[in-house]
Structure 1
């Protein structure tokens, strides 16, 4: 399987690219900055330099020929403003979805955010007034991107992790449509995405995920 990951230099994406490569599949990390190519290649993946805030869907589709599945793992980052929450966390996801449709790529995995649908519409507006409002715009961007993916004829999976940690993976999680607030190592999120890609148990599922006591394969298989 050839899998393209938008946001290919992100911390989750770099782990995922190595996991994909180690599993015997082909990973393509989409990066905006050419300086990030070597980091992606060190995972065993191929780097594709493409700015999702600048390309058209046609241009992106040309670059993704031969891909079997896509993962959206991009994000504007914690220090970005409200405008980029929409242009990256929402609009870049929609661009990837449109390009996938053009190429008849039907497998789409979205890395979203816990609580995305609970944003405050009155505060999730641009321009944002303060840091808390920027976070509401971020949740809005994720919610709107997720909704767009769900309405398409993809074999989609939407993963909504809790607070992200840089600690070693545990390999065990709690998943559900909603789960209590919690945290999860980024490496475990990557492992959840890999399992979702390689196993059809999570197709058509949207779920929140935090650290827990259930091995990742069993947790996803129990989604029902």
Structure 2
């Protein structure tokens, strides 16, 4: 399987790249600068330098062509302002989805956020972030050419992963280690039966593989 990850140098993406490459998948990560490339190689991924804030849909499609799955894990980051919530958290997500359609890549997994809502009100940075994420999610959901799954983790932590989660349509608020988010993503990429699902993720008591199989069977 060839998997292309947008936001390849992100904290979740690097973890995901390690997991996927360790199980023998061919992984490519899209990054903004060449300085980030060595970190991806160390994680077992092929670095692809391309700025999703300025790239064309054709340029992104060229990277995606031939892939079996695409994962959108890019984000403007907590220190960014309102403008980049629009250009990255929304704009880059829409671009990546359109490029996947153009490249003929059906399997499409999105790392969103708990509370993402296109109708979210407010003008603070986090309000804009949740609205941008919600608008991006809604855009992906309307693309019939994609077999999409949207994952909405709770508050992210750097605690060591436990491999135990709660993965449901609605979990309620909670936190989750980035390790466990990456583990769930690795399973979702390979579980097309989760197509069409929007899933929330927090710490829990169910092993990751069991949790994913459970939602896939509903």
- TM (norm. structure 1) is 0.93
1:35 is displaced (CA, Å) by 0.4
Query: Which residue number corresponds to residue 192 of structure 1?
Result: 184
The gaps in structure 1 that reach 5 residues or longer are: 125-132
1:119 is displaced (CA, Å) by 5.8
Query: Which residue number corresponds to residue 197 of structure 2?
Result: 205
Query: Which residue number corresponds to residue 57 of structure 1?
Result: 57
Deviating more after overlay: 192-201 vs 17-26: 192-201
Alignment of 1:94-109 (within 5 A): 94-109=94-109
Please provide the CA RMSD for this pair.
1.2
- TM (norm. structure 2) is 0.95
1:157 paired with 2:146, answer no
Alignment of 1:1-224 (within 5 A): 1-117=1-117, 120-121=120-121, 123-124=122-123, 133-153=124-144, 154-223=146-215, 224=218
Equivalent pairs, count: 215
1:29 is displaced (CA, Å) by 0.8
Q: Supply the distance in 1 between the matched residues of 2:66 and 2:192 (Cα, whole angstroms).
A: 21
Q: Supply the distance in 2 between the matched residues of 1:190 and 1:201 (Cα, whole angstroms).
A: 18
| Structure 1 runs, 4 residues or longer, greater than 6 Å off | none
Residue 92 and residue 7 in structure 1: after superposition, are their counterparts in 2 closer, same or farther (change >3 A)?
same
Query: Which residue number corresponds to residue 129 of structure 1?
Result: none
Whether the aligned pair in 1 keeps the contact of 2:64 and 2:105 (CA below 8 Å) is no
Q: Supply the distance in 1 between the matched residues of 2:100 and 2:64 (Cα, whole angstroms).
A: 8
1:90 is displaced (CA, Å) by 0.5
Q: Supply the distance in 1 between the matched residues of 2:192 and 2:107 (Cα, whole angstroms).
A: 10
Q: Supply the distance in 1 between the matched residues of 2:118 and 2:110 (Cα, whole angstroms).
A: 18
